[in-house]
Amino acid sequence: MRIDVLTLFPRMFESPLSCSILNRAQEASLVEIALTDIRDFAADSYRKVDDKPYGGGPGMVMMPGAVFDCFEHVQKLSPDKGRTILLTPQGQKFDQKKAAELSAEKRLILIAGKYEGFDERIRIGLDAEQISIGDYVLNGGELAAMVIIDAVVRLLPGALGDEDSAKDDSFSEGLLEYPQYTRPEVFRDMKVPDILLSGDHAKIAEWRKQRSLERTKKWRPDLLQNNKDKK
């Protein structure tokens, strides 16, 4: 997979992309992540990329010129057209299902903007899908882009050490994950449930399923409702 990110702050991505699973996935060529600075495509020598909104109001709006030029440049970096995504609080809410869907793409082009917004002609002209990561406002789309990259890359075959680990994750079956335990068997008077030490794999699977259901009912009943709505 190839992921291109268009941003005014490429340095924000350095640390997250160079650690842990995201780093390993790039080293193993499972994903190539390329950052392009939108400001390099500004038309004037002040490198100006935003301006006051027509009609008045607070804040600054991203001008279309640099974003379009940057996008057209980035598109040519690889033969795949890719799926273009604009990060904005107005977008469709990102979830595990969307992560799985995006992980099947050959190429993603993520465009991170400043919150006050994009000139409307960017959304229209690029014919991009809009994604939000939740109902709150961030200063820009960068952190949202990183969230999406993280959630998508860990689903690429081979990205996790253990091939099965993504399957058991919370949300992968529309439920929260079952409780996990590791050594020691007793910690501050709290004991690992006997069944997990029993070696009976069928019973363990059933126990986990029940615990998943139980904690989803208790902590995230909305997920069960969503599952019903979808079925």
Pick 50 or 216: Cβ nearer ligand 6GU: 50
Is 59 near ligand 6GU (CB under 6 A)? no
Phi, psi of 26 (to 5 degrees): -75, -40
Exactly one of 27, 45, 54, 136 binds ligand 6GU (CB under 6 A); that residue is 136
Phi, psi of 212 (to 5 degrees): -60, -50
Exactly one of 18, 19, 32, 134 binds ligand 6GU (CB under 6 A); that residue is 134
Is 158 near ligand 6GU (CB under 6 A)? no
Token digits of residue 50: 């935003």
β-partners of residue 129 are: 85
CB of 172 vs ligand 6GU, minimal distance in Å: 22
Handedness of CA 210, 212, 216, 219 (dihedral sign): positive
Pick 145 or 159: Cβ nearer ligand 6GU: 145
CB of 89 vs ligand 6GU, minimal distance in Å: 4
Active-site positions read: 89, 116, 154, 169
Exactly one of 7, 88, 212, 216 binds ligand 6GU (CB under 6 A); that residue is 88
Instruction: Tell me the CA distances in angstroms from 94 to 16, 28, 52, 133, 191, one per residue in order.
Output: 19, 26, 30, 5, 37
- Which residues within the stretch 96-125 sit at the binding site for ligand 6GU (CB under 6 A)? 115
Token digits of residue 43: 């038309």
Is 10 near ligand 6GU (CB under 6 A)? no
Is 141 near ligand 6GU (CB under 6 A)? yes
Is 84 near ligand 6GU (CB under 6 A)? no
Three-state secondary-structure class, residue 86: strand
Alpha-carbon distance of 100 to 156, in angstroms, equals 9
- Closest-CA residue to 146 (of 27, 45, 21, 12): 12
Residues that bind ligand 6GU (CB under 6 A): 87-89, 115, 132-134, 136-138, 140-141, 144
